[in-house]
Structure 1
Amino acid sequence: MQMVKNPLRSPVLRIVFLGMAFLLAGCSGTGGSPNTNHPIILQVVDAGGYTAQVKPMLDAYQKAHPDKVSKVVYPARIQAPQLPGKLKAEENAGNIQDTLIITGYDAVASTIQQGLVEQLTPAHNDKFPNLDANYLPAAKAYNDLAQGYGLVFTYTPSGPVFEYNPAKVSNPPTTIEELQAWIKAHPHQFLYARPSNSGPGRTMLMGLPYLLGDKDPKDPIHGWDKTWSFLKDAGSAIDAYPTRTGDTMKALSTGEASIIASTLGWDINPRYLQQVPAGDKTFVLKDTTFVADAAFMMMPKGLDQARQNVMLDVMAWMLRPDQQAYNYDSGYFYPGPAVKNVPISLAPASSQQVMQQYGRPEYDTLIKNIKIELPLKTDQLVAAFQKWDSDIGSGKYQTS
């Protein structure tokens, strides 16, 4: 019987096998990621439209740490409901490509529920010292909703505010009762977009229960009798509801509407972009409660240790005051910073110029003086959308 030689007894083959082992070790890790001695590719999944705000922060990080990040990749934006499926597909395939998630609270809730993201705190509290103390109070309250699985990186008190054409509205309403009377007296001149598709529409919807003194502003089904009555009454003067906020801005600019639902950011940014006249104005009703909005950063489950380490470092970087100043951007999420002590003077010159030309000094006073509440919990918000769709907007959607 012929003996089979052990291939590893051959010096040449032994070198080949050792070389292959080192090569495989260097390529190990979920998704074919590099080892700890090489910079990673940072891939951002944007499920909400926040790339413009985070890109300067990530560019600055890469420039400061080329040993940690070789390239930042921005695939096409996805909608929040698509995020869980995308993460689950990568995890099931054992090929995690996305390393940083940026999204609103709706996708935070769904990804936590399905176990698709890593818990950041308290597991990694050492990476985020004094986190709670550094957050603005309302941003900190918002951050608590994520149970440590996401961290707020940008924040706005949002609204509701109402935007109008001063050439057509010489004496804007000052109370919710005056607004209701104005809408009835000026048919087809008040407009807001479908709440499930529109930040201003959603913010107005959640703000009305506070303005109207409803029984329970957090319970749209059993506590919003006055709100639903107001919306039905207003609906009698609205021909069709746009499905995009931008369409309400267009209606305001062309004179098809005289007053529209807006937010702090949706007032500033479209005027900067010249989508509405720079001279258009806003008003805030007496007894307004602002309903805040925020965006989170999260880390997918399944990243190798090397990429986890870098992503934790990136997140800590994004919460630094000098990086938070990029959140002023062009006013879209005004003010934008989620942490304390980030004045506009820290923002890039381009952002400062936008604020000087299109900002409203009274907004900072309003933010200090108006009570700020968190939005509805996800299940309650979905219930509110469904009731609005069936009772208010049914058959009246604008399709073009």
Structure 2
Amino acid sequence: MSYERWKSSLFAASALLVSTTIGAMAEPVVINVIDVAGDLQISQPALEKFQAEHPDLVSKFVFTQATAPELAGKLKAQQDAGRVDIDFVLTGNDALAAGMEQGLWLEILPKYADMFPDLKKLYLPGAYQMQEMTRGQAFVLDWYPSGPLLEYAPDRVKDVPDTPEKLMAYCKANPGKFMYARPANSGPGRTFVMGLPYLLGDKDPMDPVKGWDKTWAYLKELDGCIEYYTSGTTASMKELANGTRDIIATTTGWDINPRYLGIVPEEYKVGAFKNFHWVGDANLMAIPKGVPEEKLKVVLQLMAYLLKPEQQAFMFDHGYMYPGPSIKGVTLDMAPKESQETIEKYGRPEYASLIADNPTEPPLDAKELVEMFDKWDREIGAAKMQK
């Protein structure tokens, strides 16, 4: 049996298990979705397609957005009050880790494992690394090797730094012209920080407390020539575009998508450090504890649906998580025409070789990620975080 036929039959079997395991719905429900990762711009078409194909399950989706740092407190308050009105969460590693630390997520696996394919066979290797880190409390929806990368204005920067030492020298010679956003609420921010231990030769890149002596020393020295830290990535992109900053931390997706949207000029460039390691990143889908049973049944079906190849092709989007799909066998020619045109116009030919020629590492695990966020907030960003 071919791989595609195997995958198709596996999903068909999963769909049958879903329908027999959770039974028929009495009436369609409203599903409240909160997005703290900016993922709706990628996945909303696939969610709306699910509703169109399953009007017996979902009467409508209600979409809201919030920042990653505020999600855990919001969920905890609802759970303590016994009134959870968030049914489905789209999150990055940041809010997922905070929720795992506080025990806010429903453990989907192994209880509902029969409703999903064999994840090790389904996911791309980098995505599966991150899937294992969820400990059964979420699913990787879209994935990318991320960064660290530097984005710059070529009319103002003629020689982009290609080592941490050169970046430090540039920052000191041009105070306030380099920026990265607060890691707890920025994929490029945390990827930049998590990539430094590999570049600086730290003792243990996966232990920010005991293994990052060189990284913390570097970040503290770099702080001396950074004016302030934006609370999110979009603000740093706008400051690059308006000339306030000349170089910022970025990722593949945060390079492509803002240029597509017109936030950053199309002609701006990216640079990579020599001998760097990619740090993978993903957006994930999770279910808070306390979701009513009739909604839980629908959300589980939705999750299985979003992991099918047809829906994963939407994850190319307009480059936000480039490449985007988290499962094997999904190619750009399967994506909507608009996505194909965006990648053709705003993608970069060098990404293929950068991805092929540099190793990809997983991000910090949940506990260590929370520790890193806390230490950075206290010791690096405390006096300079933009409100």
In the superposition, the TM-score normalised over structure 2's length comes to 0.85
**Within the alignment, does 1:314 sit opposite 2:302 as a pair?**
yes
| One-letter amino acid of the structure 1 residue matched with residue 267 of structure 2 | G
Which of residues 175, 188, 192 is equivalent to 2:180?
192
8 Å Cα contact 2:97-2:367 kept in structure 1: no
In structure 1, the residue matched to 2:116 is: 128
CA–CA separation in structure 2 for the residues paired with 1:46 and 1:94: 21
Which of residues 24, 37, 60 is equivalent to 1:71?
60
Q: Which has the higher mean CA deviation after the structures are superposed, 225-234 or 325-334?
A: 225-234
In structure 1, the residue matched to 2:37 is: 48
Matches within 5 A, 1:1-400: 36-74=25-63, 76-91=64-79, 95-398=83-386
CA–CA separation in structure 1 for the residues paired with 2:349 and 2:372: 33
Q: Which has the higher mean CA deviation after the structures are superposed, 46-55 or 84-93?
A: 84-93
| One-letter amino acid of the structure 1 residue matched with residue 277 of structure 2 | T
More relative contact order, 1 or 2 (CA 8 Å, 6+ apart): 2
8 Å Cα contact 1:192-1:200 kept in structure 2: yes
| One-letter amino acid of the structure 2 residue matched with residue 358 of structure 1 | Y
Indicate the SS of the match to 2:312: helix
- CA 1:79 to 1:246, structure 2 compared with 1: closer, same or farther past 3 Å? closer
8 Å Cα contact 1:198-1:245 kept in structure 2: yes
- Report the alpha carbon displacement of residue 303 of structure 1 after superposing the two structures with TM: 4.3
CA–CA separation in structure 2 for the residues paired with 1:248 and 1:375: 22
- Report the alpha carbon displacement of residue 93 of structure 1 after superposing the two structures with TM: 5.5
Q: Which has the higher mean CA deviation after the structures are superposed, 208-217 or 111-120?
A: 111-120
- CA 1:390 to 1:341, structure 2 compared with 1: closer, same or farther past 3 Å? same
- Report the alpha carbon displacement of residue 53 of structure 1 after superposing the two structures with TM: 2.1
CA–CA separation in structure 2 for the residues paired with 1:73 and 1:361: 38
Indicate the SS of the match to 1:291: strand
CA deviation map 1:70-108 (0-9, x unaligned): 22222x213334444544555566555433222223333
| One-letter amino acid of the structure 1 residue matched with residue 343 of structure 2 | M
Q: Which sections of structure 1, spanning at least 5 residues, go unmatched?
A: 1-34
- CA 1:92 to 1:247, structure 2 compared with 1: closer, same or farther past 3 Å? closer
CA–CA separation in structure 2 for the residues paired with 1:130 and 1:223: 34
Q: Which has the higher mean CA deviation after the structures are superposed, 91-100 or 117-126?
A: 91-100
What value does the CA root-mean-square deviation take over the aligned residues? 2.5
Q: Which sections of structure 2, spanning at least 5 residues, go unmatched?
A: 1-23
- CA 1:136 to 1:70, structure 2 compared with 1: closer, same or farther past 3 Å? same
- Report the alpha carbon displacement of residue 57 of structure 1 after superposing the two structures with TM: 1.0
CA–CA separation in structure 1 for the residues paired with 2:218 and 2:98: 31
| One-letter amino acid of the structure 1 residue matched with residue 163 of structure 2 | T
CA–CA separation in structure 1 for the residues paired with 2:114 and 2:377: 46
8 Å Cα contact 1:90-1:96 kept in structure 2: yes
- Report the alpha carbon displacement of residue 152 of structure 1 after superposing the two structures with TM: 0.9
- Report the alpha carbon displacement of residue 121 of structure 1 after superposing the two structures with TM: 2.1
In structure 1, the residue matched to 2:18 is: none
| One-letter amino acid of the structure 1 residue matched with residue 150 of structure 2 | F
CA deviation map 1:199-245 (0-9, x unaligned): 22221111111111112212223322222232233333333333333
User: What is the aligned residue count?
Assistant: 365
8 Å Cα contact 2:179-2:245 kept in structure 1: yes
- CA 1:93 to 1:191, structure 2 compared with 1: closer, same or farther past 3 Å? closer
- Report the alpha carbon displacement of residue 304 of structure 1 after superposing the two structures with TM: 4.9
- CA 1:97 to 1:224, structure 2 compared with 1: closer, same or farther past 3 Å? closer
8 Å Cα contact 1:176-1:286 kept in structure 2: no
Indicate the SS of the match to 1:339: coil
| One-letter amino acid of the structure 1 residue matched with residue 48 of structure 2 | D
Indicate the SS of the match to 2:219: helix
CA deviation map 1:305-324 (0-9, x unaligned): 54333222211110011101
CA–CA separation in structure 2 for the residues paired with 1:48 and 1:183: 29
CA–CA separation in structure 2 for the residues paired with 1:312 and 1:361: 38
- Report the alpha carbon displacement of residue 46 of structure 1 after superposing the two structures with TM: 2.3
CA–CA separation in structure 1 for the residues paired with 2:379 and 2:84: 43
CA–CA separation in structure 1 for the residues paired with 2:44 and 2:232: 25
Indicate the SS of the match to 2:158: coil
| One-letter amino acid of the structure 1 residue matched with residue 27 of structure 2 | H
CA–CA separation in structure 2 for the residues paired with 1:123 and 1:247: 41
8 Å Cα contact 1:159-1:203 kept in structure 2: yes
Indicate the SS of the match to 1:392: helix
CA–CA separation in structure 2 for the residues paired with 1:73 and 1:398: 30
Q: What percentage of aligned pairs have identical amino acids? A: 46
- CA 1:362 to 1:178, structure 2 compared with 1: closer, same or farther past 3 Å? same
| One-letter amino acid of the structure 2 residue matched with residue 369 of structure 1 | D
In the superposition, the TM-score normalised over structure 1's length comes to 0.83
8 Å Cα contact 2:133-2:366 kept in structure 1: no
- CA 1:100 to 1:193, structure 2 compared with 1: closer, same or farther past 3 Å? closer
